[in-house]
Structure 1
Amino acid sequence: MTMTHARAIFAVFALFPLFAATPVTAAPASPPSGAPRVDYHQHLVSPAFSRIVSLPVFDAAALIRRMDEAGVERAVVLSTGYSMADERKGLPDPDRLTREENDWTSAEVAGSGGRLVGFCGVNPLRDDALREIRRCLALPGMIGLKLHFGNSGVSLRNPRHLARMEEIFAAAGAAGAPVLVHMRARGGENFGGPDAALFIEHLLPRAAGSDVIVAHFGGAGPGYPEQADEVMAVFAAAVARHDPRLRRTWFDMATIFTPESSDEDAQRIARRIRQIGPSRTLYGSDLLVAPGMPSIGQTWGLITTRLGLSRSELRQIAGNRLSFIR
């Protein structure tokens, strides 16, 4: 990768903090162990969002074409409505923009012939968040909730934020709505194992009736930093002691292993997969039209060839299908 290319990618994500991407180098185009049945971490780009982040519009039809190329049956589409209420963007009337983004996502997934399911996006710290969750979950095709702690400025170490997140998780649990959570705090500061402990103690019990997916193996991507591994160590210990609060908790691998990841990264990721179990490990690829993002086949190819997982472990991950998407 040239320095010019690297600066271009950095410039895009300086404006677009909710996603991160690693430029693609050589990677297997065809997964040797069979494609994953479900991509649990996908996004679309609406016309409104396209103007904000300077990315091309990416609708349901375009995503399904990418899925067909890779042999993926279904995908979970995470509305970027939460990003509209990121105060750093300074957008006017963010609650209206959040509603409109959720409405657009609903229309796209509802027209996918059952290939896509939608998760509502809200900034949980907004006064309107609970009302919008209830409204959005009633929209066609919208069955779950996406929370992005970093984008929304949430820190579980802040008592006020923690209490608010208990409210949000209780609402999801009462609705039986699955929740996908980008746990990493804004900027990655003051974040690590203690946050996973707070998540287990305070939030998982509130959503006991729902599946909860921890995105990016506790980090943000690209890559798998020490902080994410600290988070996963806490979750792995809870799994090892058969903590009942993790009965319906899962972990997606979106963007954690890249072409530039080291053999040491591969070993750490494989160790955590085996500790939490392949049955709790979900495939996800993230926004496919962000600069430098690998294709679904390329990311799965990296997982199948470089993590050192057995064929049975890979088959389990590729075949994992949670109840909300059956």
Structure 2
Amino acid sequence: MRRFSATFSVTICAALAMATSAAAGPGARPTPAADHHQHLFSPAAAAWMSSSMALAPIDADELVAQLDAAGIGRAAVLSAAYAYGAPSRKVDHEYGRVRAENDWVAAQAARHPERLVALCSFNPLKDYALRELGRCATSPGFGRGIKLDFAASDVQLDQPEHVERLRRVFRAANAHGMAIVLDMRASRALKRPYGAEQARVLLEQVLPFAPDVPVQVSHLAGNGPGFGDTPAREALAVLAEAAARQDPRMRQVWFDVAAVVRADLPADEARRLVRRLRQLGMDRVLYGSDAPPGHALEANAGWDAFLRLPLDEAEAARVARNVVPYLR
């Protein structure tokens, strides 16, 4: 059983990033050691998901080329297999398709084992959720983490049955030593309730069931773009306040900025965002780009946008060095 330390150790990638910055001297542009939010899409998944968004397949070679263009060493590859479990659509052989997409992502990441770490995914409300988690935990291609998407899976934190199913998944992930990457924003399309109340449920009723593994809250508790989503800001405030008071339930919780920091972020949103990042603590803020297929320089452009925030050099360098344990 794998266990993760909450103490930030320095990986080879992070050490190289720090050495490069130090050699260049003060004012040098830091480079992220890792991109904590990337995706690969098989041809089958891209076709399935294209009914709601324009997607094209992307494989590991394309992603590594994108990382090379940005000077980024490693990336978390988050499977999109959860899309087959979306309750808004029905598909034949659903669980078989979930397995196939997860396996395809794992096989792609295995082509670049020093660069990519694959995380499997599924709808946590499905009857097969624990079975797939267990399968991924024993697969050599996974075993390091899972990815959950509340909006796509229509998870509602104000529904007791949903909370209980989440607890089971968190407990199982913890038992297997698997990190959890979590898109916690409830569905906008279905107008599900979301905000401070739902964040408190996560903090008080779900996080305690995975105390020993990293939990990465994606998109700063929203889903982007930008920082203008008021319910997401309210949810993030609850978690940031808990982090600031050193709530033990936040000991293993990190936050990625994927899709939130954009080049066109208004100045007032940028200042509000920086205040919240400082409240979270820069040592738990992770760079992620969530680059869509066909945008070869998105990882680099996303980091350029992050560096435009009104942070000081030490804060930007801290985020660049941060690498969550499952990527080390």
Normalised-by-shorter TM-score class: 0.7 to 0.9
Cα distance in 2 for partners of 1:57, 1:242 equals 42
Matching residue of 1:148: 149
SS of 1:318's partner is helix
Instruction: Kindly state the Cα deviation for residue 182 of structure 1 after the two structures are TM-superposed.
Output: 0.4
Cα distance in 1 for partners of 2:64, 2:136 equals 23
Supply the AA of the counterpart residue of 2:104: W
Cα distance in 1 for partners of 2:319, 2:74 equals 14
Q: 1:235 aligns with which of 207, 215, 239?
A: 239
Instruction: Kindly state the Cα deviation for residue 245 of structure 1 after the two structures are TM-superposed.
Output: 0.8
Matching residue of 2:10: none
Matching residue of 1:176: 177
Contact 1:75 1:117 in 2 (8 A): yes
Matching residue of 1:64: 64
Matching residue of 1:199: 202
Does 1:209 find its partner at 2:212?
yes
Name the count of aligned residue pairs: 294
Instruction: Kindly state the Cα deviation for residue 248 of structure 1 after the two structures are TM-superposed.
Output: 0.6
SS of 2:88's partner is helix
Instruction: Kindly state the Cα deviation for residue 92 of structure 1 after the two structures are TM-superposed.
Output: 1.5
Does 1:263 find its partner at 2:264?
no
Q: 1:219 aligns with which of 214, 217, 222?
A: 222
Runs of 5+ consecutive residues of structure 1 not aligned to the other structure: 1-30
Contact 2:66 2:297 in 1 (8 A): no
Contact 1:251 1:280 in 2 (8 A): yes
Instruction: Kindly state the Cα deviation for residue 295 of structure 1 after the two structures are TM-superposed.
Output: 1.2
Supply the AA of the counterpart residue of 1:59: D
SS of 1:111's partner is coil
Q: Deviations over 1:60-102 (max 9, x none)?
A: 1110000000000000000011011112232222111100001
- Aligned-pair identity in percent equals 38
Contact 2:49 2:83 in 1 (8 A): no
Q: Deviations over 1:144-164 (max 9, x none)?
A: 010000000100100100111
Contact 2:244 2:281 in 1 (8 A): no
Cα distance in 2 for partners of 1:32, 1:149 equals 38
Instruction: Kindly state the Cα deviation for residue 226 of structure 1 after the two structures are TM-superposed.
Output: 1.3
Cα distance in 2 for partners of 1:190, 1:286 equals 25
Q: 1:289 aligns with which of 277, 288, 293?
A: 293
Cα distance in 1 for partners of 2:45, 2:291 equals 13
Instruction: Kindly state the Cα deviation for residue 265 of structure 1 after the two structures are TM-superposed.
Output: 1.0
User: What TM-score do you get using the length of structure 2 for normalisation?
Assistant: 0.86
Q: Which moved more, 1:31-40 or 1:131-140?
A: 31-40
Cα distance in 2 for partners of 1:77, 1:130 equals 21
Contact 1:110 1:140 in 2 (8 A): no
Instruction: Kindly state the Cα deviation for residue 286 of structure 1 after the two structures are TM-superposed.
Output: 0.6
Cα distance in 2 for partners of 1:293, 1:146 equals 23
Instruction: Kindly state the Cα deviation for residue 294 of structure 1 after the two structures are TM-superposed.
Output: 6.2
Q: 1:318 aligns with which of 317, 320, 325?
A: 320
Matching residue of 2:138: 138
Matching residue of 1:38: 34
Q: Following superposition, which runs of at least 4 residues in structure 1 exceed 3 angstroms of deviation? A: none
Q: Deviations over 1:187-236 (max 9, x none)?
A: 15310011111111111110011100000000011122111211111111
User: What TM-score do you get using the length of structure 1 for normalisation?
Assistant: 0.87
Instruction: Kindly state the Cα deviation for residue 180 of structure 1 after the two structures are TM-superposed.
Output: 0.5
Cα distance in 2 for partners of 1:175, 1:310 equals 39
Matching residue of 1:15: none
Q: Which moved more, 1:252-261 or 1:34-43?
A: 252-261
Cα distance in 2 for partners of 1:233, 1:82 equals 27
Instruction: Kindly state the Cα deviation for residue 323 of structure 1 after the two structures are TM-superposed.
Output: 2.1
Instruction: Kindly state the Cα deviation for residue 293 of structure 1 after the two structures are TM-superposed.
Output: 8.7
Instruction: Kindly state the Cα deviation for residue 32 of structure 1 after the two structures are TM-superposed.
Output: 6.0
Matching residue of 2:161: 160
- Aligned residues: CA RMSD: 1.6
Cα distance in 2 for partners of 1:89, 1:265 equals 35
Contact 2:256 2:286 in 1 (8 A): yes
Q: Which moved more, 1:100-109 or 1:89-98?
A: 89-98
Matching residue of 1:12: none
Does 1:251 find its partner at 2:252?
no
Contact 2:45 2:81 in 1 (8 A): no
